[in-house]
Structure 1
Amino acid sequence: MPIHSRRRLPRQTVFEPYFTSKEAGKGSGMGLAVVHGLVETFGGYIRVKSEPEQGTVFRLYFPVLAQTVIASDREEKEAIPTGRERLLLVDDEQHILDIYTQVLEGLGYRVLAVSNGAEGLEAFKASPESFDAIITDQTMPRLTGAELASAVLEIRPEIPILLCTGYSSALSEEKAFELGIRTYLQKPVQRAELATAVRQALDQKGA
């Protein structure tokens, strides 16, 4: 379905993570990057047409699946690791929070999703032993993912923490590991990558 916008968008950069035509602090620039990743995951592609004073049209194309392809897709889903553990999910971008929650709950996990680091720390302190792992964004107001991780690890040093961050993050992978963070993921994180990373972090905890 076409989506119209009055603002002309540069087609070469519009799907890059953190690209935004909004003012500083008004948009994260991750929305279209996430959409692009999801469309590609399902074998589709996006066409963009933009004209001055006319607006912008996005067209999303997906393959028609035959019955045999659907069966193959089911086999692929079965191969993706699942679990029953309790996860604390922290991200200040609501659309990413909704997508990750849906993915993780679809894999069998029980998820408490909160929209900022301070709220995440409060939820953890209220019941530290009720969570098996934490998945957090890095760049958030009030409390960053690194600050959240440091506070959590003072209470439970063994809990797995997975940090999701953008390409422009000031926190390097090496620094994240020094803080005690188990897994460092670059956004946008695809479904299979997220599922595998969570399962590996949980299994390492129990090893």
Structure 2
Amino acid sequence: MMLAVSDTGHGMDAATMARIFEPFFTTKEEGKGTGLGLATVYGIVSQSGGTVNVYSEPGQGTTFKVYLPRVEAEVEPEARVEYAPPPRGTETILLVEDADSLRLLVRELLEEAGYTVLEAGAPDKALSLAESTPGPIHLVLTDMVMPRMSGQELAKRIAAVRPQAHVVFMSGYSDQAVADQGTLEPGSLFLQKPFTMDALMRMIRRALDPRLPTKGPSGS
């Protein structure tokens, strides 16, 4: 099957088209794009056995065609798995995410699970909260790619004032792709977007309770 998406924008030249699927490549001005959107699409389509073709000319707009294999065989029902509710907690979490809608959603999930949430839409706000908030901050949950400062650099700066705070990184691309760019240190806890509530809650407990078993329904 094929899905085509077209626009009537400015279009792209051949040099730009050759790089659009590279992680962190963007033509937007600094602070306006992460360069992970098309790389994420390409990764998901490739993992599904498909391909993505792009057609564009300057001044003529752009068309993306996504080709995915059609499944002919009947899909067997999955074995029934006993559901275990996601783990909860009462710790304080500093949430750092520059996408407003996602930050609001994650905050609501965390608060429903019993956590106290401090939120920041930019690294400088997160640093200010880390320095000025009375009481402990048990965990920093931060995006990897943000304007003006990476999540890795932010974590290092917060560690200077909050050395006991654990860290979980988030990104729309895979941990291997982020590691290949040199922005994820070995041993870092990483949660790939999009993620389920169950995966989020279990990753948080994995960070806060490192001696607990790490394997769960989320696969983490």
TM-score by length of 2: 0.56
Which residue of 47, 51, 54 maps to 2:56? 51
Q: Which protein is bigger by CA-based radius of gyration?
A: 2
Match of 1:8 in 2: 12
Of 76, 81, 88, the residue aligned with 1:84 is 88
- Residue 202 of structure 1, CA deviation: 2.0
- The answer (yes or no) to whether the contact 1:37–1:190 under 8 Å persists in 2 is no
- Could you tell me which of 114, 120, 128 is aligned with 2:126? 120
Q: Who is 2:35 aligned against?
A: 29
Change in 2 beyond 3 A, CA 1:98/1:137: same
Deviation for aligned residue 1:90: 1.3
- In structure 2, stretches of 5+ residues that fail to align are 172-177, 214-220
- Structure 2 match to 1:178: none
Q: Distance in 1 between matches of 2:41 and 2:105?
A: 15
Distance 2:44 2:211 in 1: 30
Asked if 2 retains the 8 angstrom alpha-carbon contact of 1:183 and 1:197, the reply is no
How many angstroms does 1:18 deviate by?
0.9
Give the 3 Å change call, closer, same or farther, for CA 144–84 of structure 1 in structure 2.
Answer: same
Choose which of 183, 200, 210 in structure 2 pairs with 1:204. 210
* Structure 1 unaligned blocks of 5 or more: 175-181
* Structure with the higher fraction of residues in helix conformation: 1
Please state how far the C-alpha of 1:87 moved relative to its aligned partner. 2.8
Question: What amino acid maps onto 1:84 in structure 2?
Answer: R
- Deviation string 1:144-190 (CA, Å, 9 cap, x unpaired) is 5455434433444322112457457555615xxxxxxx72538x645
- The 1:24–1:141 alpha-carbon spacing in structure 2 relative to 1, beyond 3 Å, is closer
- Deviation at residue 55 of structure 1 after TM alignment: 1.7
1:61-85 residue CA offsets vs partner (Å, 9 max, x unmatched): 8999xxx98x859969x57x83434
Contact 1:133 1:159 in 2 (8 A): yes
Pairwise CA RMSD of aligned residues? 4.8
Identity of aligned residues (%): 30
Which residue of 153, 166, 185 corresponds with 2:190?
A: 185
